[in-house]
Amino acid sequence: MKKTSYHFNRSTLVYEEVRYSIGQKILAGLKHLSIGIGIALVLFAFAMYTMDSPYEQHLRKENKLLLAQYDVLSQRIDEYQNVLNELQERDDQLYRATFNADPIPASVRRQGFGGVNRYEYLLDISHSELVISTSRKLDAIRKAMYAQSNSYDELIELIKLKEERMSNMPTIRPLSGKDMKGISSGFGMRIHPIFGDLRMHTGIDLNANAGSPIYATGNGTVESAGWEGGYGNCIVIDHGFEFKSLYGHCKEILVKPGTKVKRGQKIGTVGMTGVASGNHVHYEVRVRGRHDNPAKYFFMDLSPEEYNEMLYIAEHR
């Protein structure tokens, strides 16, 4: 049923039917429509600011999950850094100290990556501070692991060098135990048995019968082999690593200069050539060009008790 509107005419004191033109009806309709649209927009805006859409709820949930994962990742990175710090300390204090190698400088272990703008591309993403902090930690660990890997490579080479050094060092007696008949003169100042004056004895004299074998005390290369003044027939072996050994008063020389020799290889025989008062081998060890007590290096073919006795005799006779 069509709705009819009335208004009160004060002049006639009668209610009269209101009749609207088409234009008025259109304006009224537009007015009501605009009011409805306005109310709808207000309600929509309110909903937008106070309620999340399903998509936004999904994004918010994913964001929380990512933050939790970053937190766990950061904790694990800190744990890995602690393990790496222990490896670095053990490397410097134990492994490198064992081989007399200098520790790796902290500046090398903690050297930075790139310039100040290395992480600039991360500034525009959400939670950039967390992402940049994690990236810095990962880069620092990667750099430290690279330095540690290089250190282990160097240690492997030092181990190989140590093995070669131990093979070359003059660490046995030049005479076998069954042939040696004692020490006639030790290392240090002494009264010369022939000239009668006080002078430095730069080696030790090991007594044995004439013709007893003389053995190379370490791997090396024969530097010289021939007559050398008061040493008589003399052999000098260069062991590398700044070690040399000398064998004087030989009866026979069985090697030539340039010959490669192995520890325990027969290189000559005992005699009394040169300035000598009896059959023996005058044996010297030179380290970095300086004479050292040869008995200190007899540790490979003697028991601890025999070594201590030999060292005592060499220092007091």
179-208 mean pLDDT: 82
Do 88 and 142 reside in the same domain of the chain? yes
Q: Give the total number of structural domains in the chain.
A: 3
Q: What residue numbers bound the domain in which 211 lies? A: 183-316
Do 144 and 254 reside in the same domain of the chain? no
What pLDDT is stored for residue 232 in this prediction?
96
Q: 150 lies in a domain?
A: yes
Count of Cβ atoms closer than 10 Å to residue 292 Cβ: 16
pLDDT band at 156 (very low <50, low <70, confident <90, very high): confident
Give Dmax (Cα) for the chain: 167
What pLDDT is stored for residue 33 in this prediction?
76
Q: 55 lies in a domain?
A: no
What pLDDT is stored for residue 271 in this prediction?
96
Q: Tell me which of 311 and 285 has the higher pLDDT.
A: 285
- Report whether 266 contacts 246 (CB < 8 A): no
- Report whether 205 contacts 313 (CB < 8 A): no
Res. 245: pLDDT tops 90: yes
Q: 73 lies in a domain?
A: yes
End position of a domain, from candidates 122, 145, 168: 168
Q: 200 lies in a domain?
A: yes
Q: Tell me which of 218 and 130 has the higher pLDDT.
A: 218
Do 141 and 222 reside in the same domain of the chain? no
Amino acid at 65: L
End position of a domain, from candidates 168, 202, 235: 168
Element (H, E) at 194: none
What pLDDT is stored for residue 127 in this prediction?
63
Do 24 and 95 reside in the same domain of the chain? no
pLDDT band at 234 (very low <50, low <70, confident <90, very high): very high
Q: The pTM is what?
A: 0.55
Do 190 and 311 reside in the same domain of the chain? yes
pLDDT in tens, 10-19: 777 776 666 6
Do 212 and 312 reside in the same domain of the chain? yes
Do 156 and 187 reside in the same domain of the chain? no
What pLDDT is stored for residue 47 in this prediction?
62
Q: 110 lies in a domain?
A: yes
Averaged confidence pLDDT in the chain: 80
Res. 202: pLDDT tops 70: yes
Res. 236: pLDDT tops 70: yes
Task: Outline where the chain has alpha helix (H).
Answer: 22-50, 54-90, 96-98, 106-109, 128-168, 304-316
270-290 mean pLDDT: 93
Question: What's CA 21's distance to the chain center, in Å?
Answer: 97
- Nearest-angstrom CA–CA distance, 285 and 236: 10
Do 161 and 197 reside in the same domain of the chain? no
What pLDDT is stored for residue 315 in this prediction?
77
Do 307 and 225 reside in the same domain of the chain? yes
pLDDT band at 314 (very low <50, low <70, confident <90, very high): confident
61-75 mean pLDDT: 69
Do 241 and 307 reside in the same domain of the chain? yes
Do 151 and 216 reside in the same domain of the chain? no
Q: 136 lies in a domain?
A: yes
Res. 277: pLDDT tops 70: yes
Indicate the Cα dihedral angle 104, 105, 107, 112, nearest 10°: 0
Res. 115: pLDDT tops 60: no
Do 98 and 18 reside in the same domain of the chain? no
What pLDDT is stored for residue 243 in this prediction?
94
End position of a domain, from candidates 103, 137, 168: 168
Q: 265 lies in a domain?
A: yes
What pLDDT is stored for residue 100 in this prediction?
61
What pLDDT is stored for residue 264 in this prediction?
95
Q: 11 lies in a domain?
A: yes
